[in-house]
Structure 1
Amino acid sequence: MTPVGARPAAPVRTYDDLVADVRAGALGPDPRTLRVAVAFTTRQAVRHDGRGTGYRNEVLSLRLAEAVGSCAVEPGELPDGALDDCVGADVAALLGHPLPAVRVAALDAYLMHVAPHTPQHGARSVALPAGSSLAKSRARARAVVELLDLPDGGTVLVVGVVNSLLEALRSRGLGYVPCDLKGGLTEWGEPVVADALAAAGSCDALLVSGMTLGNGTFEPLRAHALRHGKQLVLFAQTGSAVLPRFLGHGVTAVCAEPYPFFWLDGGPGVVHRYHCPGGER
């Protein structure tokens, strides 16, 4: 059994493999012995100054000792009883919960407890300056987009549309295909595709939200990147401690942002970046 604080094990092959390893106690303490003390949701509605559209977020978070694991959900999707299901439950039971968001948040909390975002575990922290919600969003976007290694003119599939990320890609001379399950239009009237895999073939790299863990689309995208040798960079509020486990097996880099997220206050913040061995920038 790997003690808390040890360097994470070699990359796992699939998400299901990772869950199986946790259940077996292969990565840390037996999850049957660890209980969630606090469960909570965070909701926000935002419309940045100078932007013509807004959006809403809702996130389920679980507190395990010093760690908080999170999974974003569609606003209004989480049943009222989900929090009651989580409080006092052991991690092993929550890994089998019928709601995907509960399963992901529990896995994230466990892995955050076992391997927090520290240099010992491969993380390099990047400070986000204090400022308005838009200023901090743009600072985070720069930290994410710097993880891509593409020449001018490359095309990036962006799964989980964040306007600041699209701005940052344009500033790098990169094209993009915005993708979100809801479809629609970007801030600048660009069509948003709904089928990420259908669009992936025409793109040189993938820039993907951790929300894909909760909606079941992460594994197909990871498999596509692995099969075609494409960069897969993840920006993760959902599953920030989960996704670094796939570095070197379809995942090129991760910008991990555990709770509390940048949009919760105007003070300084931090994100944690991970790269494949030999791919540090």
Structure 2
Amino acid sequence: MTPAPSVTARATTYDELLRRVRAGGLGPDPAALRISVAFTTRQAVRHDGRGTGYRNEVLSLRLAEAVGSCAVEPGTLHDSAVEECVGADLARLLEHPLTPVRVAALDAYLMHVTPHTPDHGAQAVPLPAGPSLEKSRARARTVVDLLDLAPGSTVLVVGVVNSLLEALRARGLRYVPCDLKGGITEWGETVVTDALAATDRCDALLVSGMTLGNGTFEALREHALARGRQLVMFAQTGSAVLPRFLGHGVSAVCAEPYPFFWLDGGPGTLHRYRAADHPGGTR
């Protein structure tokens, strides 16, 4: 008989999770752990056959074997912030004035304490090798498969990724694209900028982990919890953080720790979590 996954300690709010980690309530004392490497990854992409491109910038912190990450708006993170992280203890970084540093530090700590393994409720999904667009589409199908919706339902997509919109279309699902930058989608659809204002006309939420870094995650989690709506997270930012909220507003997570699919043409691995796989509450 296969043993059941262990119940990873979860939290009801982001602030509660941060407090528990700072106090050493989920593992080793953060003051005794130091970041050995800090780095940023900057990327610009325009897939063949696509009319638009985009840029990414991610802050990553390495703690022993674990890497925690938080996306930032390109050009907003000074090199001095990266230098401040090198050799710093986790306790100090969890109190850092910059939100992306705090998020990356929390992600590194939780990745170190509870890596993406079956014992912690993760289901590994292989991502095949291939060109960037093929890998983007494969990831999008894995993410969208976490939605339990009938065709014709409407999904609020926070953090517009054209491959995700394409995968939703293939499932017969409608969507409202939302991103703080606004703009238009590959298909000429207007991208709204106020996620909360659009939630009431949607049946489920599909949300980027980047919302941890810009401070909008908690409001979306609270809305999903209060309204009983599905909230599926796709997470390069905070991939080890977001599974902590399963059953507390988050219904599923597609976690993708560093290195991300867009960095390498070789095979990779995604990690799926569902609230149904995590019986019980916080502890």
Normalising by the smaller structure, the TM-score range is over 0.9
Report the AA paired with residue 102 of structure 1. V
1:194 paired to 2:193 = yes
What does residue 220 of structure 2 align with? 221
- The whole-number CA distance in structure 1 between the counterparts of 2:278 and 2:170 is 22
- The whole-number CA distance in structure 1 between the counterparts of 2:26 and 2:6 is 10
Contact 1:86–1:94, Cα closer than 8 Å, also in 2: yes
* TM-score (structure 1 length as normaliser): 0.96
Contact 2:8–2:120, Cα closer than 8 Å, also in 1: no
1:17 is displaced (CA, Å) by: 0.1
SS at match of 1:277: helix
Report the AA paired with residue 66 of structure 2. A
What does residue 136 of structure 2 align with? 137
What does residue 3 of structure 1 align with? none
Once the two structures are superposed, the pairs formed by residues 1-281 of structure 1 within 5 Å of their partners are: 7=6, 9-277=8-276
1:79 is displaced (CA, Å) by: 1.1
- The whole-number CA distance in structure 2 between the counterparts of 1:148 and 1:279 is 17
1:9 is displaced (CA, Å) by: 4.0
- The whole-number CA distance in structure 2 between the counterparts of 1:202 and 1:196 is 11
Report the AA paired with residue 175 of structure 2. Y
SS at match of 2:201: coil
- The whole-number CA distance in structure 1 between the counterparts of 2:76 and 2:275 is 35
1:277 is displaced (CA, Å) by: 2.2
Pairs aligned (count): 275
- The whole-number CA distance in structure 1 between the counterparts of 2:247 and 2:9 is 9
Q: Which runs of 4+ in 1 moved over 2 A?
A: 6-11, 277-280
1:11 is displaced (CA, Å) by: 2.3
* CA deviation profile, 1:74-97 (whole Å, cap 9, x unmatched): 000101201111001010100110
- The whole-number CA distance in structure 2 between the counterparts of 1:8 and 1:162 is 31
Contact 1:9–1:27, Cα closer than 8 Å, also in 2: no
- The whole-number CA distance in structure 2 between the counterparts of 1:260 and 1:134 is 17
- The whole-number CA distance in structure 2 between the counterparts of 1:71 and 1:232 is 20
SS at match of 2:176: strand
Contact 1:233–1:254, Cα closer than 8 Å, also in 2: yes
- The whole-number CA distance in structure 2 between the counterparts of 1:279 and 1:63 is 27
* CA deviation profile, 1:121-150 (whole Å, cap 9, x unmatched): 000000011000000000000000000000
Contact 1:130–1:136, Cα closer than 8 Å, also in 2: yes
Instruction: Give the direction of change, closer, same or farther, for the CA distance of 1:164–1:240 in structure 2 (3 Å limit).
Output: same
1:278 is displaced (CA, Å) by: 5.3
Contact 2:9–2:26, Cα closer than 8 Å, also in 1: no
Contact 2:121–2:277, Cα closer than 8 Å, also in 1: no
Report the AA paired with residue 233 of structure 1. V
- The whole-number CA distance in structure 2 between the counterparts of 1:59 and 1:279 is 29
Larger displacement relative to structure 2 (270-279 or 87-96) = 270-279
- The whole-number CA distance in structure 2 between the counterparts of 1:279 and 1:27 is 17
- The whole-number CA distance in structure 2 between the counterparts of 1:149 and 1:179 is 20
* Runs of 5+ consecutive residues of structure 1 not aligned to the other structure: 1-5
* TM-score (structure 2 length as normaliser): 0.95
1:271 is displaced (CA, Å) by: 0.3
1:279 is displaced (CA, Å) by: 8.6
Contact 1:8–1:27, Cα closer than 8 Å, also in 2: no
Contact 1:7–1:115, Cα closer than 8 Å, also in 2: no
